[in-house]
Amino acid sequence: MKRREILESAFTILAILALWPVILGWKHPIYNIMLGVILIIFIVLVINKFRRVKHMYEESKIEAKKRPPGPPDPRDMFQP
């Protein structure tokens, strides 16, 4: 895993842990601000992850087109 992916995973865990005071009913104005900041960062992470997955999908489509056709796969259920 790359350092960026590790940081994203760590922040995701932190965001989940940050919800526990809400579940337990604790209220504090600073905590509400912290939740807002975490929400914004979490949205940015989700958008970046979506873009990365889309980019990897596009790369795999390009690579699949470059690959020469091989013998048919006997496990392929859509094979004529």
* Domain residue ranges of the chain, discontinuous segments joined by +: 3-63
End-to-end C-alpha distance for the chain, whole angstroms: 40
Q: pLDDT band at residue 54, thresholds of 50, 70 and 90?
A: very high
> For the chain, what is the HEC assignment?
CCHHHHHHHHHHHHHHHHCHHHHHCCCCHHHHHHHHHHHHHHHHHHHHHHHHHHHHHHHHHHHHHHCCCCCCCCCCCCCC
16-53 residue pLDDT tens: 888 888 888 888 888 888 888 888 988 988 898 899 89
Residue of 55, 57, 15 whose CA lies nearest to 36? 15
pTM here?
0.62
